[in-house]
Structure 1
Amino acid sequence: MSQQTELLREDRFAGRPKAVLLDLDGTLYRGETPIEGASRLVEELEEAGIACWYLTNNSTRTPEQVAAHLRGFGIPADATRVITSAAAAAHYAKQRHPDATAFVIGEHGLRSALAEAGIAMPDEAELAAGASVNLVVQGLDRNLNYGQLTAALGYLLSGADYLLTNPDRRLPVGDGFLPGAGSLAALLETASDVAPVVIGKPSGIMMRYALDLAGIEASEAWVVGDNPHTDLAAGLAAGCPTVLVLTGICGRDDWRQRCERAGAMPDAVCEGPDEVRALISGLGTASGPSDT
């Protein structure tokens, strides 16, 4: 085993996975720069018959936009393998609230996903005319105004259910940060006393959706990411083997402390994508139940 890879639970890596659930920013790229080895990892896994799925808490982009962004880094991503928190939220809404009429705080990615799922979303004129709303779906909206917050609060106080695409409190942008969807949710929850159902990482809801789409069991899919609070916690919630890469939030000197604070220790720690690739290459056949 490479000195740049540490196995904390060897029993979790009895064989190769059937799929790898990959985080994006901090795992495959940083900002607008691809991480060394990311494209090689994806290419070699796909050639070996190991499906790569891309999981993102970003609710503002469609899967097609995310895949195009990844291809711009040389990563051969297909939109059918991209799972956004918006898509997971739309699926959950359709399953749990099939006849819902939703008030949406969010951008194109969320509205597009809800429309594809057949969730009714009254426009401004219909809302002004008194259209009934029984579901508030909230993601990141960088054009949010006080009127929208007031309307959402009114619906929540009137008994509407509340879905939150992802709990991220802030988003790194250049040298600073933007308030994230979780920050907006904190405002609405404080005002309404209604806690949202959280869909995206670290929630197990998004992970179960991903596993269902992939058609595999949790033990057959590795979760690879850089964030203990989201990626590792999500993998832990789903029961998947987890691999922490030291290309984003965590470094070699502080990963253990960060993971302990998050309450989510990884099953393996790899320096980066090349080490993940080497770890998988060194294992036997795909994990999971035998056909015999």
Structure 2
Amino acid sequence: MVVEETMSASNAVTPVSLCDAEAFIFDMDGVLYRGQETLPGVVEIFDALEARSIPFLLATNNSMATPSDYVKRMATLGVVIDEANVQTSATATREFLKGELSAGAHLLVVGMPALRTQLTDGSDFVITDDPDDNVAAVVAGLDQLFTYDTLTRASEAIRKGARFVATNADATLPVENGFIPGAGSIIAAIATAGGALPTVVGKPETLMMTTGIQQLGTSARGTIMIGDRLDTDILAAHRAGLTTALVLTGVTTRADLADSEIVPDYVFTDLPSMLREIVGSD
């Protein structure tokens, strides 16, 4: 094992110990799996939380799958969850836009089909592909079928006055053998062509964290955010006052920590080493 270490976080508040946590919020890519590869300790850590009746939430910046898709994905890992346990950057974006736009607002969406589904489920937004169709907002996430035509239509709508909203701005996405471009690469192209910076909803902004602890019914400091990225997971949780735990199974390396101004409360090699801290002397 390596516990790794308790670090002096930027919050300058003594972090809650893992064995005393009120709840956990998990990132998924790079924490529970990497591409199609299941990472070690996933079943065991959720079994431990269930045995102790500790609530949890899965919070991902990925907008390419719906909560229902994640329920199915977790089942293949051997973990049973409900859709209510899942928060995506797309569902967070929908809730954000419901408070910002009028009823029946038209959205031009850059993303995979799951993003469109999540934006319209539980809302009365109208999806359009026409930049001349009174577009209230261009909503962009990771789009694996992104084309020059898509870029042209999105940037045109923005130049005509549509708001520009990004589900997240992750530069890369971890997969089995390295990294692939993330939503941030597409967001950058649209921002350049449209001449406007986006409002970013996902991590490192705090909306997913604050709504998460409201849903869990727990305090910020008593809730531990487990993530693999300093610049999104850990930063978002710090900004929202949560305790933070970094696992080194995704994007961030130990070498990255040495040069970072973003400092997690805890650092672990992987979930099994974290699990030993959760169960304590049990």
* Cα distance in 2, alignment partners of residues 133 and 261 from structure 1: 42
Question: Letter of the aligned partner of 1:110 in structure 2?
Answer: L
Query: Following TM superposition, by how much is the alpha carbon of 1:197 offset from its aligned partner in structure 2, in angstroms?
Result: 0.8
What is the CA deviation profile of residues 205-233 of structure 1, one whole-angstrom value per residue up to 9, with x for unaligned ones? 22222222223331121011122122211
Query: Following TM superposition, by how much is the alpha carbon of 1:250 offset from its aligned partner in structure 2, in angstroms?
Result: 4.1
Quickly say closer, same or farther: Cα 1:152–1:262, change in 2 above 3 A: farther
2:238 is aligned with 1:233:
no
* Alignment match of 1:154 (pick from 153, 156, 159): 156
Q: Could you tell me which residue of structure 2 aligns to residue 287 of structure 1?
A: none
User: Which stretch of structure 1 is more off in the superposition, 110-119 or 6-15?
Assistant: 6-15
* Cα distance in 2, alignment partners of residues 176 and 283 from structure 1: 36
For the 8 Å contact 2:234–2:244, the answer to whether it is kept is yes
TM-score by length of 2: 0.88
* Cα distance in 1, alignment partners of residues 179 and 265 from structure 2: 30
TM-score by length of 1: 0.86
Q: Could you tell me which residue of structure 2 aligns to residue 187 of structure 1?
A: 189
What is the CA deviation profile of residues 3-57 of structure 1, one whole-angstrom value per residue up to 9, with x for unaligned ones? 5332225921256222101111221223322222211111111221111211111
Question: Letter of the aligned partner of 1:269 in structure 2?
Answer: V
2:67 is aligned with 1:63:
yes
Q: Could you tell me which residue of structure 1 aligns to residue 146 of structure 2?
A: 144
Q: Which runs of 5+ in 1 are unaligned?
A: 285-292
Task: Report SS of the residue matched to 1:156.
Answer: helix
Q: Could you tell me which residue of structure 2 aligns to residue 91 of structure 1?
A: 95
Query: Following TM superposition, by how much is the alpha carbon of 1:77 offset from its aligned partner in structure 2, in angstroms?
Result: 2.6
Quickly say closer, same or farther: Cα 1:175–1:272, change in 2 above 3 A: closer
For the 8 Å contact 1:98–1:119, the answer to whether it is kept is no
Query: Following TM superposition, by how much is the alpha carbon of 1:280 offset from its aligned partner in structure 2, in angstroms?
Result: 2.4
Residues 95-134 of structure 1 aligned to structure 2 (within 5 Å): 95-99=99-103, 100-124=105-129, 127=130, 130-134=132-136
Quickly say closer, same or farther: Cα 1:166–1:120, change in 2 above 3 A: same
For the 8 Å contact 1:202–1:234, the answer to whether it is kept is yes
Quickly say closer, same or farther: Cα 1:269–1:172, change in 2 above 3 A: closer
* Alignment match of 2:216 (pick from 214, 217, 230): 214
Question: Letter of the aligned partner of 1:207 in structure 2?
Answer: M
- Note the aligned Cα RMSD (angstroms): 2.4
2:166 is aligned with 1:164:
yes
User: Which stretch of structure 1 is more off in the superposition, 260-269 or 132-141?
Assistant: 260-269
Q: Could you tell me which residue of structure 2 aligns to residue 46 of structure 1?
A: 50
What is the CA deviation profile of residues 93-151 of structure 1, one whole-angstrom value per residue up to 9, with x for unaligned ones? 11222433211111122111111131422445xx38x5211111111112222222212
Task: Report SS of the residue matched to 1:190.
Answer: helix
Q: Could you tell me which residue of structure 2 aligns to residue 273 of structure 1?
A: 271
Q: Which runs of 5+ in 2 are unaligned?
A: none
Question: Letter of the aligned partner of 1:103 in structure 2?
Answer: L
Query: Following TM superposition, by how much is the alpha carbon of 1:276 offset from its aligned partner in structure 2, in angstroms?
Result: 1.9
* Cα distance in 2, alignment partners of residues 122 and 248 from structure 1: 34
For the 8 Å contact 1:39–1:76, the answer to whether it is kept is no
Q: Could you tell me which residue of structure 2 aligns to residue 24 of structure 1?
A: 28
For the 8 Å contact 1:101–1:119, the answer to whether it is kept is no
Question: Letter of the aligned partner of 2:139 in structure 1?
Answer: V
Question: Letter of the aligned partner of 1:6 in structure 2?
Answer: E
* Cα distance in 1, alignment partners of residues 217 and 100 from structure 2: 21
Task: Report SS of the residue matched to 1:12.
Answer: coil
Task: Report SS of the residue matched to 1:143.
Answer: coil
Q: Could you tell me which residue of structure 1 aligns to residue 251 of structure 2?
A: 249
What is the CA deviation profile of residues 248-278 of structure 1, one whole-angstrom value per residue up to 9, with x for unaligned ones? 3345xxx2x4135442111111232222222
Q: Could you tell me which residue of structure 2 aligns to residue 7 of structure 1?
A: 6
* Cα distance in 1, alignment partners of residues 91 and 113 from structure 2: 12
Quickly say closer, same or farther: Cα 1:264–1:82, change in 2 above 3 A: same
For the 8 Å contact 2:101–2:136, the answer to whether it is kept is no
Matched length: 276
Task: Report SS of the residue matched to 2:14.
Answer: helix
Question: Letter of the aligned partner of 1:226 in structure 2?
Answer: D
Quickly say closer, same or farther: Cα 1:239–1:44, change in 2 above 3 A: same
